[in-house]
Amino acid sequence: MRSSIGFKLSARFPIIVAATVAGLLFAPTAIALDVGGVRVEEKIKVANQDLVLNGSGLRYAAAGLIRVYVGSLYLPQKRTTSAEIGALKGVKRMHLSLLREVNSNDFSKGLLGGMRANLPPAEQQKHFEALLKLGAIFGQIPSLKKGETISIDSIPGTGTVVFVNGKKVGETFPDETFFQALLQIWLGPKPIEESLKPVLLGVSPSNDNSVNNNSRDKF
């Protein structure tokens, strides 16, 4: 005959298991993706605002044979077009995780070339001085090494801020529209990486292992 203590434990066992499972299901967890071997968080906090991952994918070079970096776009809410992103209020971040060493001068030229290819002349003129300052920021860094990161943040009331390895570099760009202009490098009509654009916009799940892309610059 089982003891009354044993019976009580047995009777409560399903309840304990159910409570444990529920706790595991509903407990807050840190969710991350693996993109090109890089850990990409699905939720982050920037300037005290919660952001969600809109999309994350790879930038290729040499006709898709070389992986250059993982690009990740974070927004307050998910959006699927560049126009919707531009109209969205709140903090935004474009984050790059380098997969190989990149000459910073080439990187800077890639930024400028990408903006020239995607912005109309009036917009280029509007951001001309900011583009020069941005080029000067990366001109002070001899090279960007594998494993290093670059974040470009749009912060309402502050402007556009650039971080390398989590440390602010250069001055803040007060014109908040400069961030949207920079995004055109990846989301414009002639994106620097054709296969990356739909991934950043969240309309394609991944471009990992893609070799059929239209790389334009060594960036």
Averaged pLDDT of the chain: 85
pLDDT (tens digit, 9 = 90+) per residue, 43-96?
A: 999 999 999 999 999 999 988 889 999 999 999 999 999 999 999 999 999 999
Q: Where are the domains positioned within the chain?
A: 32-200
Residue 26 pLDDT: 47
182: closest CA among 121, 81, 114?
A: 114
Q: In this structure, what token pair is assigned to residue 95? A: 């984050």
- CATH T-level topology, domain 32-200: Chalcone isomerase (3.50.70)
Q: What is the largest CA-CA distance in the chain?
A: 89
pTM: 0.82
Q: What number is the average pLDDT over the span 169-187?
A: 95
d(CA 219, CA 213): 14
Task: Tell me the CA end-to-end span of the chain in Å, nearest whole number.
Answer: 76
Residue 214 pLDDT: 39
Cβ proximity of 185 and 114 under 8 Å: yes
